Amino acid sequence: MREIVLDTETTGLDPLTGDRVVEIGAVEVLNAIPTGNVFHAYINPERDMPEGAFRVHGLSSEFLSDKPVFAAIVDDFLAFLGSDKLVAHNASFDVAFINNELQMCGKPPVPPHQVVDTLSIARRKHGGPNSLDALCARYGVDASRRTKHGALLDAELLAEVYLELSGGRQAAFVLADETGGYAPAAAGAPRHPPRPRPLLPRVTAEERAAHAAFMATFSEPLWERVTLPASLASADDGGPAMAAE
């Protein structure tokens, strides 16, 4: 299953008061495993950068002044997202900003059913704190590079956290893919399909004769002295019955 793990940086906290997206980082995952395929863009917000927001992500108005506006990258972003799930931490925040930008470009919004919120998953799974830093510490994800917020780095860290929230590192051992590889067996199905042709026996006639000669050297083999219960003395399994003494 393909999903897109996303993070944004913005000029503030509320798109309805004029705050805009200034960075998008998105990571493609298949079956919760990052593929290495990413989308990243710095965006000119066409407005000033408040000091409080600058302290969070370090993106100045000067740095963003020559970057493309959202309308210039929207088609590439939507092509990367497709119709797959969008995974974000405190997703209502990121999706509100993304949908505001989409609306300004005349594009349809990301629908709620397409969104997965890792914050909600973490809250259901265990007690707080459940910030991205806290979850990285809980799951042993190295967040030492995170000196400031950055959309692509945070999306990469969240992809690792999402793997843990989705079932842990054992997910990486699922022998399945979407290109015709091995897939998990259906319930009740044999773990391995039958061979098209049985393997040839590896014991030679000479080895069988040598084994029979060796067994003949025992005057009373131990297994011939075993007494079985009457219920097991029949040949229900197709082998020779063993009579009780």
Q: Is 14 marked within a binding site?
A: no
Q: Is 40 marked within a binding site?
A: no
Distance CA 150, CA 24 (A): 9
Q: Token pair for residue 96?
A: 């509100």
Q: Is residue 227 part of a domain?
A: no
Using pLDDT thresholds of 50, 70 and 90, give the confidence band for residue 163: very high
Q: What is the pLDDT of residues 100-144, one digit of tens each?
A: 999 999 999 999 999 999 999 999 998 889 999 999 999 999 998
Angle, CA 169 vertex, CA 166 and CA 172 arms, to 5°:
90
In 60-125, the DSSP E strands lie at 85-88, 115-117
pLDDT for 166 beyond 80: yes
Range of the domain at 42: 2-173
Q: What is the pLDDT of residues 42-86, one digit of tens each?
A: 999 999 999 999 999 999 999 999 999 999 999 999 999 999 999
Active site residues: 149
Q: Is 19 marked within a binding site?
A: no
CATH of the domain at 87: 3.30.420.10
Q: Is residue 192 part of a domain?
A: no
Q: Is residue 155 part of a domain?
A: yes
Q: How many domains does the chain have?
A: 1
Q: Is 126 marked within a binding site?
A: no
